[in-house]
Homo-oligomer: A and B are copies of this chain.
Amino acid sequence: MSAAVSVVALSGGIGGAKLALGLYHTLPPNSLMVVCNTGDDFEHLGLSISPDLDTVLYTLAGVANPATGWGRAGETWSFMQALGQLGGETWFRLGDADLATHVERTRRLAAGEGLSAISDDFRTRLAVRARLVPMCDEPVRTMVHTYDGILPFQRYFVERRCAPKVSGFEFHGANEARPTPSLREALASERLEAVVICPSNPFISIDPILAVSGMRAAIAACRAPVVAVAPIIGGRAVKGPTAKMMAELGIPASARAVAEHYGGLLDGFVLDAADADQTRVIDVPCLATRTLMESEDDKRTLAAGVLAFARRIGETTR
């Protein structure tokens, strides 16, 4: 099936999943591959949790909680309540239905299956007609360097609510990891038409993917244009700590700075119409359009715009 993949999208969680959903609804069935960051993955309560994979899975399957963007719609919370009664850790919220994903994934990993095989089976069972792959099968763990010390990602992100000031990031295990075979195949394919970097946080969602050994080279070598969508609009992040992080890192919180962060990897850059003036100082072709995705329509319209933009780049450069 991977032979049919024409678009590869790199995604973190909620923000990336929105554009991934737009792409999913715009492209023919089975032609999209979403590559998920697994630097956020962690072991909690003895379970292997992959927050970004699950957010994209639930989003594409149409079972995501629309209010939060993470977790499942119509979720119940009996587990967390009972866990609290027993003195268990409740800082990371796990819904009852969501828990099935973690328990079953943990069981299958322990039985020797790879995360990519498990993820492919889960998306098939939830009738998702897109490939859904982790960036690698090896464990990679994002460590956040802060002025309060080095924190594992979820401790920083969920428990500390991104409060500590960051100074940098490390992706433990990335050097030993390799892009999953299906991803390598898709990137090397003659049929590939676009690589889309979703409007996810560049530092904690996209950089872990790019840190996987051989990933950046495989993306740079692919025949299709690489197009990123800015997660910053008018100097602010739509959601999450992107702008706060940029300020803490001494980088201007601007779309342009995101384009510069990805550097030579990009063949095109999509930013919000509000930031159209920055296109003059970005040295790749730019598309200024509405990037805020509030409705399902917004997601499809942006996805279609990004794909058309990539196609134009592909036509002019090859």
- Determine how many copies of this chain the complex contains: 2
Q: Which residue of B lies closest to A101 (CB)?
A: B86
Residue from A45, A100, A110 whose CB has the most chain B CB atoms within 10 Å: A100
- Complex CA gap A86/B103 in Å reads 11
A214 CB, nearest partner CB in chain B, Å: 31
Indicate which residue in B46, B87, B100 contacts A86 across the interface (CB closer than 8 Å): B100
* Chain B hits for A122, CB < 8 A: 86
* Chain B hits for A101, CB < 8 A: 82, 86
Confirm or deny: A222 has a beta carbon within 8 angstroms of a beta carbon on chain B: no
Confirm or deny: A96 has a beta carbon within 8 angstroms of a beta carbon on chain B: yes
Residue from A78, A85, A87, A98 whose CB has the most chain B CB atoms within 10 Å: A78
Count A-side interface residues using an 8 Å CB cutoff: 32
Main secondary structure of the interface of A (DSSP, over half): helix
Q: Which residue of B lies closest to A127 (CB)?
A: B85
Residue from A47, A72, A76, A82 whose CB has the most chain B CB atoms within 10 Å: A82
Indicate which residue in B45, B47, B72, B78 contacts A97 across the interface (CB closer than 8 Å): B78
Q: Which residue of B lies closest to A90 (CB)?
A: B100
Confirm or deny: A295 has a beta carbon within 8 angstroms of a beta carbon on chain B: no
Confirm or deny: A95 has a beta carbon within 8 angstroms of a beta carbon on chain B: yes
Q: Measuring CB to CB, which residues of chain A are less than 8 angstroms from any residue of chain B? A: 45-47, 72, 75-76, 78-83, 85-88, 95-101, 103-104, 106-107, 110, 121-122, 125-126
